[in-house]
Amino acid sequence: MTHYDVVINGAGMTGAVLALGLGALRRTDGSALSIAVIEAASPDLQAHPGFDARSIALAQHSRELLERLGLWSCFAPLATPITRIQVSDQGHIGQVLMAAEEYRVPALGYVVELNPVGQSLYWQLAAADNIRLICPDRIAGFRQHADGVELVLASGQSLGTRLLVAADGSRSLVREQLRLPSRQLDYGQSAVIANVQTAEPPDGRAFERFTREGPLALLPMSEGRSSLVWCASTARAEAIMALDDDAFLAQLQRAFGYRLGRLQRTGTRHCYPLLLDEVEKPWHHRVVLLGNAAHLLHPIAGQGFNLGLRDVAALVAAVGSALGLGQDFGGYPVLAGYGRERQPDQAAIVGLTTGLALLFSNDNPALAAGRNLGLMAMAACAPFKEQLAWRAMGKR
């Protein structure tokens, strides 16, 4: 059996950032943690997805966390700044406009393409002397003991660790074996995602448009593209997916309007169901769940990865503090302290995204009027608007 200080299941964005953050920590004697990262899928380091590149939104505060972890250099060359955000409600005059210069920040957020960032993080993992990437492989089973966790991999390897971290997504094998209590909510919606080209380049502008069917977001990307997330009832989303490109662009134009001129091109469309899936207590004896393994959110406010990154930064800080004090970083006191620190933020974001999803996906006339008045009031009242802006930047 090979022993590691930390084993991380999953080498996606959350797992990779955590591994590199923990890998930079040092004990009081100057020694580094030994870390194993298990990943089921071999990365395609030659992939160039071009127009259809998948992307995520990073809040301004997430940039600050990545800088603190020494990892912003992996993201910066691939990040498109969001300098302005327009929030509007279809069929109503209320809208809110936010600009980075109002809040004296370089950007309200950033859009990064997943594949090139993933490649950059992979090479960082491969270059780290104290991190071992076990790929392709997966956990076949594990057992928790008083002072550690024993794992058996599908390849037959046996590993021991003081702390197991599940960063293996919404279908987490670790979470499934632990059978932790959780809360699920089916929104009855699906998200259609695609990249689109517009006659007028987005030039740093992001749009959140609330329609009668559900929220629609366009985020600026490189090369004049925009990343689309269009939420609608599952039946409506299936109908949208069945359209040819011209009909799809025509319907999207009706929903979004001409804020960026005529929609000219769409890439490949993808569709996935929207659910809330939240583990009540995303840590257990010598185990921590992160990212979608801990809380799968509605994309309405773009909070999913940003919340996960705050969890990552807090866990790195908790482990670093424990190392400095000579404590067992995988023990109950450290993990319980981490859990107490993170619970308010996690609960607030789950409540925010769930409330927004239910409020802005409802065509009830009274609610629609209330939404419109709310947007108008927010636009007119600087403190309300400022709260919205700070939340968009990932700050409380």
User: pLDDT for 317-351, tens place per residue?
Assistant: 999 999 999 999 999 999 999 999 999 998 888 88
Task: Give the SS3 label for residue 225.
Answer: strand
> Quick one: tokens of 339?
């859990």
Residue 357 · residue 187 · CB < 8 Å: yes
What's the whole-model pTM score? Answer: 0.89
Q: How many CB atoms lie within 10 A of CB 229?
A: 20
Closest CA to 306 of 288, 291, 294: 291
Q: Are residues 283 and 371 in the same domain?
A: no
The model's pLDDT over 173-214, given as tens digits with 9 standing for 90+, comes to 999 999 999 999 998 999 999 999 999 999 999 999 888 778
CA–CA dist 87, 46 (Å, integer): 38
Q: Are residues 208 and 173 in the same domain?
A: no
Q: Are residues 336 and 214 in the same domain?
A: no
Tell me the one-letter amino acid at 90: Q
Q: Report if residue 383 sits inside a domain.
A: yes
Angle subtended at Cα 234 by Cα 228 and Cα 235, rounded to the nearest 5 degrees: 115
E strand or H helix at 258, and its extent?
A: none
Q: What is the mean pLDDT of the chain?
A: 88
Number of domains forming the structure of the chain: 2
CA–CA dist 382, 284 (Å, integer): 43
Q: Report if residue 67 sits inside a domain.
A: no
The CATH number linked to 176 is: 3.50.50.60
Question: Which positions of the chain have pLDDT values less than 70?
Answer: 44-52, 90-94, 301, 359-396
- Our separate counts of H helices and E strands in the chain read 11, 20
> Quick one: tokens of 17?
């950032």
CA–CA dist 364, 14 (Å, integer): 38
CB within 8 Å of 103: residues ≥ 6 apart: 386, 389, 390, 393
CA–CA dist 196, 269 (Å, integer): 10
The domain in which residue 253 lies consists of: 72-113+186-274+360-392
Q: Are residues 338 and 285 in the same domain?
A: yes
Length of the chain: 396
CA–CA dist 21, 312 (Å, integer): 8
Closest CA to 227 of 247, 208, 254, 251: 208
Report the percentage of the chain scoring pLDDT > 90.
Answer: 68
